[in-house]
Structure 1
């Protein structure tokens, strides 16, 4: 299974990379944290890292470390605006529960 971006997320990442002046995409990971046990980690990536699995979506690289892939497989990353707030939203089919603030999840 792969990890993908929605059109809205891809537009946002392309704009952000252009503003930064460098980068090939995003690195996605899962870390132990939050009230539900696991939290998403996301950062810009400037080059391929040895050991990361690489997925392509909308011309962007999505790098995932092998330990995080079981938790992220099949995830679609979206970028949403809700009122005055905007940010990435993980549509993760592996998440069985999510905390109220949306910052952490459980599988």
Structure 2
């Protein structure tokens, strides 16, 4: 099982945690939502729980509840700028399709 961050994503995560002033990393998860079935969630993590797996790359930590690993194994988190827009981008090999707006996926 593995998850990773690109250098750009790791830099952005560290920037947000520094600006916030606390936190050990970011939690990535999924929820039922959108037209394709699931959407990604992200939150700050202050404490790592007993059901969490921690993945570190490029100096930043991604925390995932074990129950979501089947959906997220192999995922890479990137940070992209397109014109005036910037956002985290989830590159998930388990996603079989995504909706037209890119907000949800199915496995």
Q: TM-score range by the shorter chain?
A: over 0.9
Please state whether the residue corresponding to 2:50 is helix, strand or coil: coil
Matched, 1:102 2:88: no
Partner of 1:23: 23
Residue aligning to 2:87: 87
Question: CA offsets per residue over residues 26-50 of structure 1, 9 Å max, x none?
Answer: 1011111110001101111112112
Instruction: Quote the Cα distance in structure 1 between the aligned partners of 2:18 and 2:58.
Output: 15
Matched, 1:36 2:36: yes
**TM-score for the superposition, normalised by structure 1:** 0.95
CA distance in 1, matches of 2:101, 2:4: 23
* 1:58-79 deviation digits (Å, cap 9, x = unpaired): 2222111111111100000000
The two structures, once aligned, show a CA RMSD in angstroms of: 0.9
Alignment of 1:70 with 2:70, yes or no, is yes
Query: How many residues of Structure 1 are paired with residues of Structure 2 in the alignment?
Result: 107
Moved >6 Å (runs of 4+): none
Distance 2:37 2:20 in 1: 32
Q: Which residues of structure 2 form unaligned runs of 5+?
A: none
TM-score by length of 2: 0.95
